Amino acid sequence: MASTTALIVAAGRGTRAASAVPKQYRTVGSRSVLARSMQPFASHPLIQRVAVVIHPDDMAMYEEHRFEANTVIAPTHGGASRADSVLNGLRALSADPPDRVLIHDGARPFVSHDVISRVIGALETEAGAVPTLPAVDAMRRLDGDSLGDPVPREGIRRAQTPQGFHYDVLMPIMESAAADGSLGTLLDEAEALIAANRRVASVEGDPINFKLTVPEDFTMAERLLSAPDIRTGQGYDVHAFCDGDHVILCGVKIPHDRGLSGHSDADVGLHTITDALLGAVAEGDIGRHFPPSDPQWKGTDSAVFLARAVEIVTGRGFAIGNIDLTLICEEPKVTPHAPAMIERVAAICGVETGRVSIKATTSERLGFTGRREGIAATAVATVVRQP
């Protein structure tokens, strides 16, 4: 699989924001703009590294306000212009270059996984890709402080970031621009590729992915964060009984005259909760992240799957509101073990036990569960975006 690095450019001073600190370190909601800009890349499954370009004077602020993740590598110092900063960042990656690099403004804190995925997807066939939006307002030139001639909107797009490129294509083009003195005049990296007669594709952007530039933008950002974003996901799973002397339900080993069949440890409870959490943030299901065809997951403790789902949820900026699981079986008896199950699920998810409900029911001897052929489970999970 092609490797991808996100390069977050955060070396500017942001004077138009009229802030006491550079705008990327200003707090919106409970976290800095920079941390919010880094987070979607650090949590994206197709991105292996996140590198940040900072001003040489900002190391202390960076350490205080950056997003903490294993994928975040040491920062690089920026240059005199944005293009200089980008080139410095690209050079810092040259010892272990990625196949693809996504360059993102450190003051765009609301980029989504969907936009990132569209850019990465376009790089399967294109040298570069940029998320864009249509120009929907009437466009006019200014004549001093008066309106001048209209500008046709047809074919006009507003460019956003991240802008994605193949590293081995972008790097020599940027070095060439530095050598001939044109680097500082570039509006963005796409301009450099276009000037070199390389095709740059347009993919659909997102109006929420705006750049914080002036004080009014921060007011808009606070309003967006104050709006509740509550999502719900549901999960369903089934495992058949097989030979054995115990079952594992929600991480608890329960003696029984049979076991449960499955590629991992067949913990139907944790599998169902995992699916519910992934569904709440539109990240598919357990099979997408841990395919049963992959031998590395054979016999795996299902806590690994649930912990990864929790990482994805929190990486998207959400907190777990509650989890409600129902186990459907005639046997074994679940109720005596429910408190231990709740403790285990809460520990894996990093929430208090009062946010986890685990209960059981029978199917009144109807269907496969009624015939004691296996166990089914359903779950509902609610997640809430953190301010």
CATH of the domain at 105: 3.90.550.10
| The predicted structure's pLDDT at residue 29 | 86
Last residue of a domain, one of 226, 245, 272: 226
pLDDT of residue 42: 93
On whether both 114 and 195 belong to a single domain, the answer is yes
82 and 108 both lie in a single domain: yes
SS3 (DSSP) at 140? strand
List, for residues 193-205, the tens digit of each pLDDT value: 999 999 999 999 9
- How far, in Å, CA of 146 to CA of 378, rounded? 63
What pLDDT score was predicted for residue 129? 98
**pLDDT, tens digit (0-9, with 9 covering 90-100), for 108-161:** 999 999 999 999 999 999 999 999 999 888 888 888 889 988 888 888 999 999
256, 326: one domain: yes
Q: Residue 158 belongs to what H/E stretch? A: strand 157-159
Domain range for 136: 4-226
**Pair 97, 74: CB distance under 8 Å:** no
Cβ atoms of 242 and 280 within 8 Å: the answer is no
d(CA 368, CA 376): 9
Same domain, 220 and 253: no
pLDDT cut 90: percent of the chain above it: 79
What was the pLDDT predicted at 14? Answer: 76
Q: What is the CATH number of the domain that holds 350?
A: 3.30.1330.50
Please report the pLDDT score of residue 297 as a whole number. 85
What pLDDT is recorded for position 295? 83
Residue 37 has what pLDDT? 96
Co-location of 18 and 132 in the same domain: yes
Based on the fold, state whether residues 26 and 101 are members of the same structural domain. yes
Which helix or strand (DSSP H or E) is residue 342 part of? helix 338-349
Do 310 and 199 lie in one domain? The reply is: no
Last residue of a domain, one of 187, 204, 226: 226
Residues 57, 199, single domain; the answer is yes
Question: 251 CB contacts (<8 Å, ≥6 apart)?
Answer: 267, 269, 270, 301, 302, 303, 341, 344, 345, 348
Per-residue confidence (pLDDT) for residue 152, from 0 to 100: 87
Structure confidence by residue, pLDDT tens digits, 151-176 = 888 889 999 999 999 999 999 999 99
Instruction: Pick the closest to residue 320 from 292, 294, 344, 348 (CA basis).
Output: 348
Structure tokens at 330: 């005639």
* Total number of domains in the chain: 2
Task: Note whether 261 and 211 are same-domain residues.
Answer: no
- In the listed set 192, 226, 260, which residue is the last one of a domain according to the structure? 226
Question: Do 320 and 370 lie in a common domain?
Answer: yes
pLDDT of residue 52: 98
Residues of the chain with pLDDT under 50: none
Same domain, 209 and 297: no
Write the CB contacts of 92 (distance below 8 Å, at least 6 apart in sequence): 51, 76
The reply to whether 210 and 252 lie within a common domain is no
**CA nearest neighbour of 53 among 31, 26, 28, 72:** 72
Q: Which residue has the tokens 């208090």?
A: 352
